[in-house]
Amino acid sequence: MEAYDLVVIGSGWAGFNAALEARKLGKSVCLVEKDQIGGTCLNCGCIPTKVLTHFAKENPKQDIRLLKKEQEETISKLRNGIEFMLKSQKIDLVKSLAKVISKNKILIKEDNKEIEAKFILIAVGARPKDLPSLKFDHSRILSSDDILKLDSLPNSLLVIGGGVIGCEFACALNKLGAKVTIAEIMDRLVFMFDRDISKKIEQVFKKSGVAINTSYDIKDKDLSEYDKILLCVGRKVNLEDLFNSNLNIEITKEGFIKVDSNLKTSNSRIYAAGDCIGGLQLAHVASYEAKLAVNNIFIEPREVDYSVMPSSVFTSPELAQVGMNEEMAKKQSKNIKIIKKPFSSIGMAHIFKETDGFLKLIVDQDSDTIIGAGIIGPLATELINTLTIAVKYNLTTKDLSDLIFAHPSISEIFTEAIQS
C-alpha cells in the first residue's frame, strides 16, 4: 500500500497550496482530484469570471463566443502551469473520486485501491446551491457554472442574490448587452460592505441600466418575464460519500465541515480548509487556511485569524475592503474618524476616465492607526492590498502619508486623502 505524510483531497486553491506547502516542508504528498485540476477558482470561478468582467469592460456588446475562446485559453495556460508545478515538486496527482475510510486510509475509487496517510486534508470545495422554491434546471434556472457555458446572451436576465457573485455577473452581462435585474433579499447590495459603498454601487448600476430590487423575496413572485434566471444565493459543500460513517466527522448546521481554530476536524488526523468549511469563501482565504493547516499539522499549531482579510468585487467600478467598516467600528464603540477622498481628485483617474468612487479610511482617533478601509473606484482590488498591510501592521495615517507613491498613479489617493 502506498503511504504518504499527507493526502490532500481536492485540487482547488486550498488543495493545491496545501500540497505545495507540505512539499516545502519536505513531506511526501498525494493530491487526489475527481475532476479538472484547479477546482472552482480556475475552472468556473475566479479566473473565468474575471476574464468575463475584463472582456465586458473592454469589449461591450461584443459576441460572447470571443469571450469563451479567451476563457478557454486562459484556463488552459494556468492549468498547464499548475500541473507543471505539481510535477516539478514531485507531488503525486491521482485523478479519481476518493473516500476517507479511516483516519489514515483513503479509498481511490477509480482503481478500487487504498492509500495510507499520516494526515489527511480535505479541500473538496463547494458548489452553487439553489432554493427550495426554485431549483436548477440548467436551461432557464441557472447556476454561476451554467451561465459561463452559454453561447449567447439572454435578452432578459434576473439575478437572484446581490452579493459578490451576483453583482459581478450582473455588471458584466449588462455591459455585454443583456437587460439585467437584480433581486436581493437584504436592504442593499453587497451588504457585507460599508453602507456608503453599497449605496454607491447601486447608484452606478441603476445609471448603467441595471434594475435593482432590494428587500425583495422572490417567493410566490411571477418570474415568467425573464428569459433566464441566475441563482447566486450561496454555496453548499461537496460532501457526498466522502467519509465512512464510522468516522463521525462533525458537520455544521449549515452543512459545512466543522473545524476548530486550528482547522482540525472532529478527527485529530483529519484537517479541512477552503470553501468546504464555510466562512469566507474566497480563494485567498482558502490558500491561507490550507497553508496554516499544513503548518499546524507538521510544525506547531496556530489559530486561524480572519481579522485582516481583504475582500474584492470585480464590478465596474471595482469594490474592495479590509478590516473594520464604519458600522463595525461603531458597534464596537470605537472612537473613530472617517477620511474620505473621491477619485475625481486624482489625475490618473481622469486619464483612465474612471472618476466615479472614493476611498474611505476608518481611523482609530486615539492611536491614529488605520483599522479599516473601503474603496469603490479604479483598481480598487489592487489598492486594497496596500491598505491590508496598513491594517495588519497597525500603521498610522502619518506612516501612510510618509510613503512616496509614483506620479501620476491611482495610488496617490492614499496620500491625497490624508493630506486633505
Q: 389 in helix, strand or coil?
A: helix
Residue 388 backbone zone (phi > 0: left; psi -120 to 50: alpha; other: beta): alpha
Q: What whole-number distance in Å separates Cα of residue 174 and Cα of residue 89?
A: 43
Cβ pair 374, 360 in contact under 8 A: yes
Q: Which secondary-structure segment (H or E) carries 372?
A: strand 370-377
**Count of residues making up the chain:** 420
Q: What whole-number distance in Å separates Cα of residue 333 and Cα of residue 25?
A: 43
Q: Which of 312, 141, 152 is nearest to 229 (CA)?
A: 141
Q: Which of 176, 134, 130, 184 is nearest to 155 (CA)?
A: 176
C-alpha cell recorded at residue 219: 417567493
Q: What angle do CA 166, 171, 173 make, to 5 degrees?
A: 95
Indicate the burial class of 169 (C-beta count within 10 angstroms; 0-12, 13-18, 19 or more).
buried
Cβ pair 390, 363 in contact under 8 A: no
Q: Which of 224, 225, 188, 232 is nearest to 206 (CA)?
A: 188
Cis peptide before 154, with omega less than 30 degrees from 0?
no
DSSP string, 270-320: EEE-GGGG-SS--HHHHHHHHHHHHHHHHT-------TT--EEE-SSSEEE
Q: What whole-number distance in Å separates Cα of residue 191 and Cα of residue 169?
A: 17
Q: 93 in helix, strand or coil?
A: strand
- Known catalytic residue: 407? yes
- Cα torsion 205, 42, 256, 213 to 10°: value is 10
**Active-site annotation, residues:** 407
